[in-house]
């Protein structure tokens, strides 16, 4: 593996025959009607959940069969049926993953294609909107970590999912159908499950919102352009999405090369990454079928021992049946599913990454580092950028560099995505701007993370550690944001009925397209273009 590509894999934070399931013939459970609202029938059997306050929660419901053996690196297959009532009161297995600097969790379990449902109590009234959450990162995590009591309080049925991560979701090989997209296929299988089963939990399968942050939001950008996702969702929420973001050299680390797109890779490159990352496993063969058979026979533990084998696949392959075209190209041409979109980013996106690499881990980013980083990223234009962002204007070189990358990479990409989407569908843009948002990652150093990447997630989804530090004003912001998200799931517009500030649509032709700033006791319009100096970056090219 080249030095540049190896650096890229270490720097990323964000950045599979129904007649033979597990070797047995599936059978339908006897028809026994649920005895109470905690027992629900889905298409594969009955499940019994638990109460969480006023709500019902169901964990670990299989939405697809185990991606094991010959089904490793294959399209998700139907889940098997079970008899009796399945206990879903406790979380199911996480997909294979290894601990990281920011998430001390691990799993060796491949039978992990499960989802969780948080549902309001049964009551009168019509079916309720459904929100399906796709977590971020792509190499670690699971749906169980995102509590949804706030959204359920507002009448939303929330589904959080597990999907194949890292090499298990992104492996590619010549002649292997679906190469580089198995995680995306899992997500679509979960959305099909929602279409079949949402009504059993009081949900409305005609009002499904798919929402995600970071890598999860990028996945949704892919689903917007994927033929297989047509009709599976009716609104989309993209938080800190990277779908139209490029990456100049050095922005994710001094040795990381530039890429034309942050998360999209052509099929050839996905195959090359796969071959390089699995070379040490002893399965390389002139016969691709032999290589695949060997790799499918390896224990999960053996595969996970390869350094960086999970981070290397925080990207999606295109040029296949799942993503026939590069998603930014499809978006720009208007070839995407017409659904309302709520989309935004945080004010200080890149402070997370600079802090994790430098100041927050005891390796301060210096003025010399800043000069070198500008030169690596911008070449002959480095001096021009330095004049626009003089290091003396910032409390530290680290914050100067984080601001440059936030504006050039994150904000410019976010604005480009807003522009192409808003020309054809209703779009509501936001910027999360709470610079005192509680840092929930286990980072030791003293660093001002500001309104950091994914810092908005605990304001909508329950995170006890982050919320333990909320001030009264932050609780009010959280309530308002949850109102907005629930209203969007319900109607396709963030127009809540609880007296919250109005949120007009983003108008691409307006002198200042409307972007809602979300900060404690300070919700209102912000000039996103001016705030992130986007005209400067557009002129620079």
Q: Are 59 and 5 in contact (CB under 8 A)?
A: no
For residues 75 and 113, give the distance between their C-alpha atoms in angstroms, rounded to a whole number. Answer: 12
> Six-digit token pair at 157?
């049925």
* Token pair recorded at residue 57: 């929660």
Supply 464's token pair: 């006890």
Burial of 300 (0-12, 13-18, 19+ CB in 10 A): middle
Q: How far apart are CA 454 and CA 463, in angstroms?
A: 12
Show the tokens assigned to 108.
């060796």
Radius of gyration of the chain measured on its C-alpha atoms = 23
Q: Find out whether 313 and 171 touch, Cβ atoms under 8 Å.
A: yes
Residue located via tokens 């319900």 = 490
Question: Which two three-digit tokens encode residue 190?
Answer: 């979960």
Strand pairing of 39-42 and 45-48?
antiparallel
Residue-level length of the chain: 541
- Contact between 442 and 537 (Cβ < 8 Å): no
Phi and psi dihedrals of 281, rounded to 5? Answer: -85, -5
Q: Which of 214, 239, 240, 396 is catalytic?
A: 214
Identify whether the C-beta of residue 492 lies closer than 8 Å to the C-beta of residue 466. Answer: no
- Which tokens hold the place of 341? 């979109």
CA-CA distance, 216 to 387, in Å (whole number)?
A: 36
Tokens of 390: 């003089």
Nearest to 495 by CA among 340, 306, 277, 363: 340
Give Cβ neighbours of residue 187 (< 8 Å, ≥ 6 apart): 134, 161, 163, 219, 223
Token representation of residue 202:
């009081």
Sign of the dihedral defined by the CA atoms of residues 201, 206, 212, 215, in that order = positive
Strand (E) or helix (H) holding 203: strand 203-213
Q: Decide: 104 and 181 in contact? Cβ < 8 Å.
A: no
214 is an active site residue = yes
Bin 450: left if φ > 0, else alpha if -120 < ψ < 50, else beta: left
Distance CA 495, CA 231 (A): 24
Give the residue carrying structure tokens 């939001």: 217
User: What's the token pair of residue 103?
Assistant: 């998430």
CA distance 224 to 212: 13
User: Which active-site residues does the annotation give?
Assistant: 214
């Amino acid at each position: 593996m080249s030095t540049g590509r190896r650096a890229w894999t270490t720097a990323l934070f964000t950045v599979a025959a129904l007649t033979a399931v597990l070797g047995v013939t599936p059978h339908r459970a006897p028809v026994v009607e649920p005895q109470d609202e905690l027992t629900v029938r889905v298409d594969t059997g009955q499940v019994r959940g638990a109460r969480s306050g006023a709500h019902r929660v169901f964990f670990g419901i299989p939405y697809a069969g185990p991606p094991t053996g010959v089904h490793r690196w294959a399209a998700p297959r139907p889940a098997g049926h079970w008899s009796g009532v399945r206990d879903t009161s406790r979380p199911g297995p996480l997909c294979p993953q290894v601990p990281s600097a920011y998430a001390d969790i691990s799993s060796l379990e491949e039978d992990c294609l499960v989802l969780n449902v948080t549902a309001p109590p049964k009551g009168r009234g019509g079916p309720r909107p459904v929100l399906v959450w796709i977590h971020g990162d792509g190499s670690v995590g699971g749906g169980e970590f995102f509590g949804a009591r706030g959204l359920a309080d507002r009448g939303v049925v929330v589904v959080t999912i597990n999907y194949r991560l890292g090499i298990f979701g992104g492996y590619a090989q010549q002649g292997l159908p679906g190469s580089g997209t198995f995680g995306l296929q899992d997500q679509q299988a979960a959305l099909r499950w929602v279409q079949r089963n949402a009504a059993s939990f009081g949900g409305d399968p005609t009002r499904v919102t798919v929402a995600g942050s970071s890598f999860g939001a990028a996945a949704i950008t892919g689903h917007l352009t994927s033929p297989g996702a047509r009709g599976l969702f009716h609104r989309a929420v993209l938080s800190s999405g990277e779908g139209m973001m490029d990456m100049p050299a050095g922005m994710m680390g001094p040795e990381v090369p530039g890429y034309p797109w942050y998360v999209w890779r052509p099929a050839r490159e996905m195959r090359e990454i796969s071959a390089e990352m699995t070379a040490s496993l002893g399965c390389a063969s002139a016969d691709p079928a032999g290589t695949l058979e060997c790799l499918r026979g390896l224990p999960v533990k053996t595969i996970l021992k390869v350094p960086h084998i999970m981070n290397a696949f925080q990207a999606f392959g295109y040029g296949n049946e799942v993503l026939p075209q590069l998603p930014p190209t499809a978006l720009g041409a208007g070839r995407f599913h017409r659904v309302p979109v709520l989309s935004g980013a945080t004010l200080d996106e890149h402070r997370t990454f600079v802090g994790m690499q430098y100041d927050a881990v005891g390796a301060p980013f210096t003025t010399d580092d800043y000069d070198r980083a500008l030169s690596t990223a911008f070449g002959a234009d480095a001096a021009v950028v330095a004049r626009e962002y003089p290091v003396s204007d910032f409390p530290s070189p680290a914050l100067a560099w984080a601001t440059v990358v936030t504006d050039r990479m994150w904000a410019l990409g976010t604005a480009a995505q807003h522009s192409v989407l808003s020309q054809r569908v209703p779009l509501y843009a936001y910027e999360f701007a709470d610079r005192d948002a509680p840092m929930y990652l286990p980072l030791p150093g003293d660093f001002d993370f500001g309104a950091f990447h994914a810092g908005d997630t605990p304001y909508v989804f329950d995170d006890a550690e982050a919320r333990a530090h909320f001030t009264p004003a932050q609780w009010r912001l959280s309530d308002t944001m949850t109102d907005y998200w629930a209203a969007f799931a319900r109607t396709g517009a963030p127009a809540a009925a609880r007296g919250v500030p109005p949120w007009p649509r983003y108008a691409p032709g307006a002198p200042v397209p409307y972007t809602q700033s979300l900060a404690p006791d300070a919700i209102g319009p912000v000039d996103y273009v001016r705030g992130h100096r986007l005209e400067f970056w557009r002129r620079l090219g």
